[in-house]
Structure 1
Amino acid sequence: MNQSKIHFQLLLPSSVDHLITQPVGKLLPVSAQETESTTFTALDCFDQPLRHSGRLLLEIDGDFELLRDDGPLVFQSATGQPRFINDFADGPLRQALSDLSPLRKLLPVGAGTRQQMLLAFIDDEGKTHCRARLLKFASETGPKFSLVELQGVRGYGKSLQQLRAHIERLGGAQVDCGALYKQLFPTLALYNAKAEIAIHSSETAFDAANKIIASCLPIMQANEAGIMADHDTEFLHDYRVQLRKIRSVLSLFKGVYDDAQTADLKARFSALAAPTGRLRDLDVYLLERDTYHDYLPESLHDGLDALLDLFSDERASEQEKLSQHLRSAAYKREVNRLAKLFKRQKDLAPGPNADQSAHDYACEQIWQHYRKVRKAALRIGPDTPDEEVHDLRIRCKKLRYLIEFFSTVFPKPALNKLLKPLKRLQDNLGLFNDYSVQQESLQAFLQKPGSGKGDSDLSIAQSVGALIAVLHGRQLEERNKALVSLARFNRPDVQQTFSDLFQNRKDDT
């Protein structure tokens, strides 16, 4: 017997009762199978990639099921308690989740109960024409509902069509996993660390700066609990990204706040960022463990592992220190004061450029920074000192931040034409810088007395020396890639787009 399936449809309890008890034409519903209620846990990463992409992942008694807007249910059993995508064995679920970041942990977003029921629709001779599989859901905070999946039987296509029409009359709707989240967990807030900040061209530069900073602060705060729980390393990364954006606004939006206000805010946000630096550096090293193993011959792995074990011990200490800092009354008081300051804004002191329109201010600043990037880029070649390459990287970062801050002020197609080559260049320059920083840090480690333990000192030193050599080679490769990306960024059409959008432009609105 072959069955053809369509995707799930959503039904409310009253409609389910009707489906279970009332005939469909001459076909009677008969319960062919019913299970006891089981507890489920819904999982997603903190940045909610499953929710944003129309997927709902459920864990039920060690098994995993994935509901999707655009496909049938995906099922896979698992051993242990997999929480990262790479923890899952090869199979349909891992394949369906292959787009998830391997760095992000799957966390519980809610729980409830689910009961399965299989209905057969039979004729007066007891022959089954079609079936309906019901999944009845209930959670602590949301209303009950069911998902129904129709299953056809060969030779009875008209009966399946009749049942489908009956489901539609009962109010059955194609499953929307976004709606399922709202049904199951109505209090679960949406999280988007990269949400677009709507700035209108007629707004003042002062209002634009305040809006950007005010939007970054709650995202920063939302990551605090994950840092303290040490769920995954991306919580700290996202926390630092928000701080970096805020500090970039204070650095790039010159004259928007008065000098004293700017200096005060720079010092306060710099103080928030300072305790996070070493932990992030250690995270980067430990996340590269497999890559470092690939770089070095097996004979040097013992020394490498000893080094990374030292970093792991230091990381545990740094993580505890940062957690204590985030739990402190002084930290909470400072963050709350800053959040209140940018929510009210009346106590912020505007500078001489505060009243300039966002459009005109953006044109002026972006064009100015673009010219600085172009000037620095002309000096870059195969033999350019590393310091000048790093200077170009920083200038590119500032330019990209400015363009992204004001992305809603200008036409998207034109901005995308600029951002694509700029991002590629920035990626190359970022890797170049990473390799350089790692070499410097490893060299500093070698010069620190007593870094290893007894006999491990020599093996660590040998591995570190070899790793530094490999990283230097990678850095040179990345420099060459950066030169290629730089040529793309300096194309005449890119230059013309920058000029058309930002040079001597005034807001016509």
Structure 2
Amino acid sequence: MRLNVLTQYLTYQLYHALTLLDALMQNRGSGDVHDFRIAIRRVRSVTALFLSGSVPFPSELKAAVKSTNPIRELDVLIESLKSKRYPKTCRTLSLLRGRHADAAFSPEFKTQTLNAIRNHYDTLCDADPDISSTHLIDTVERYYASALSDYGRICPETSQKELHRLRVRFKNARYGLEFLASSQLREEHRKIAECKKIQNRLGRVQDAYNQVEWLKKVYKRSPSSETAELLRERKKELKALKAASRSA
């Protein structure tokens, strides 16, 4: 019996995450970390849209993604820097990234994540929810419209916590729209592009905040005029991005 289009999509993403896990454990590259996180987050977002009450997302996979947060934040910061201008800071950040990768990508991480992916794959196949294409499309479209409506109400008083929550909503909407498009249920390229644009706009604030926090740690650990200069620059950028995000 052919699996429902939703089950096909989710199990494919889990299989993709499984193939990425081996690469992740072997070379720990920033691209592998990013792709693995996206595959798992796609499953989490699409599950939240359609199956939150029947097939919950595994806590083990949620923990696996969370454990890679510091690594991804450091990758984004390192990739934003020119090593010739900030050689000492880049070296310190790279060493810090290596220590976090050593701690995160342990044999236990691989075993637990591997088992969680396989178990959830089987759970989804066994459940194979019978959801119509019309319901799948309507659910995503309503979610996207609701996120856009909330985005239109951003004002100078909107808190950073609310902006972050809204960013997550657009990430969920984007993954839902990508599901519709890849499953050939509806052409959604324009809306996907809009989600990416808004998600990136809101994400710049969180990225800048994370970078300031990491640079504070680096400066405390290994003070230098180079890191101090960079920290001042990133604080100014964060202030400007906060103001821009509330006037969008």
What is the TM-score normalised by the length of structure 1? 0.42
Please tell me the root mean square deviation across aligned C-alpha atoms, in Å: 3.3
Structure 2 residue 242 is matched with structure 1 residue 467: no
Structure 2 residue 201 is matched with structure 1 residue 424: no
Name the residue aligned to 1:313.
Answer: 95
Structure 2 residue 130 is matched with structure 1 residue 355: yes
State, as a whole percentage, how many aligned pairs show the same letter.
18
- 2-structure distance, mates of 1:422, 1:335: 28
Matched letter for residue 316 of structure 1: G
What does the per-residue CA deviation read over 1:276-319, in whole Å, with 9 as the maximum and x for residues that have no partner? 222222212221221x87xxxxxxx5xx5433322211222222
Name the residue aligned to 1:405.
Answer: 179
Structure 2 residue 70 is matched with structure 1 residue 288: no
- 1-structure distance, mates of 2:23, 2:233: 32
| 1:23-422 matched pairs, under 5 angstroms | 207-230=4-27, 232-254=29-51, 257-258=53-54, 261-262=55-56, 265-290=57-82, 304-325=86-107, 328-342=110-124, 345-346=125-126, 348=127, 354-363=129-138, 365-381=139-155, 384-407=158-181, 408-412=183-187, 415-422=188-195
What does the per-residue CA deviation read over 1:337-384, in whole Å, with 9 as the maximum and x for residues that have no partner? 334444xx22x4x7xxx4341322331x22431342233123224564
- 2-structure distance, mates of 1:328, 1:228: 7
- 1-structure distance, mates of 2:117, 2:189: 34
- 2-structure distance, mates of 1:234, 1:221: 15
Matched letter for residue 358 of structure 1: S
What does the per-residue CA deviation read over 1:260-283, in whole Å, with 9 as the maximum and x for residues that have no partner? x41xx3313213223322222221
Secondary structure of the 1:289 match is coil
Give 1:228 shift.
Answer: 2.7
What does the per-residue CA deviation read over 1:4-43, in whole Å, with 9 as the maximum and x for residues that have no partner? xxxxxxxxxxxxxxxxxxxxxxxxxxxxxxxxxxxxxxxx
Give 1:400 shift.
Answer: 1.6
Are 1:282 and 1:315, in contact at CA under 8 Å, matched by a contact in 2?
A: yes
CA 1:375 to 1:230, structure 2 compared with 1: closer, same or farther past 3 Å?
same
- 2-structure distance, mates of 1:372, 1:402: 13
Pair member with larger Rg = 1
| 1:485-504 matched pairs, under 5 angstroms | none
Unaligned runs of 5+ in 1: 1-202, 294-300, 484-509
Higher helix share: 2
Structure 2 residue 221 is matched with structure 1 residue 451: yes
- 2-structure distance, mates of 1:268, 1:320: 19
- 2-structure distance, mates of 1:388, 1:425: 14
- 2-structure distance, mates of 1:275, 1:266: 15
Give 1:244 shift.
Answer: 0.7
Higher strand share: 1
- 2-structure distance, mates of 1:331, 1:355: 28
Are 2:205 and 2:241, in contact at CA under 8 Å, matched by a contact in 1?
A: yes
What is the TM-score normalised by the length of structure 2? 0.80
Are 1:372 and 1:395, in contact at CA under 8 Å, matched by a contact in 2?
A: no
Give 1:215 shift.
Answer: 0.4
Matched letter for residue 245 of structure 1: R
- 1-structure distance, mates of 2:159, 2:66: 28
Matched letter for residue 221 of structure 2: S
Could you say which structure has the greater relative contact order, defined with CA pairs below 8 angstroms and 6 or more residues apart?
2
Unaligned runs of 5+ in 2: none
CA 1:211 to 1:434, structure 2 compared with 1: closer, same or farther past 3 Å?
same
- 2-structure distance, mates of 1:372, 1:266: 26
CA 1:338 to 1:307, structure 2 compared with 1: closer, same or farther past 3 Å?
same
Secondary structure of the 1:438 match is helix
Q: 2:245 aligns with which of 479, 504, 507?
A: 479
CA 1:441 to 1:368, structure 2 compared with 1: closer, same or farther past 3 Å?
farther
Matched letter for residue 120 of structure 2: L
Secondary structure of the 2:58 match is helix
Are 1:390 and 1:433, in contact at CA under 8 Å, matched by a contact in 2?
A: yes
- 2-structure distance, mates of 1:472, 1:442: 13
Are 1:436 and 1:475, in contact at CA under 8 Å, matched by a contact in 2?
A: no
Secondary structure of the 2:106 match is helix
Matched letter for residue 37 of structure 2: R
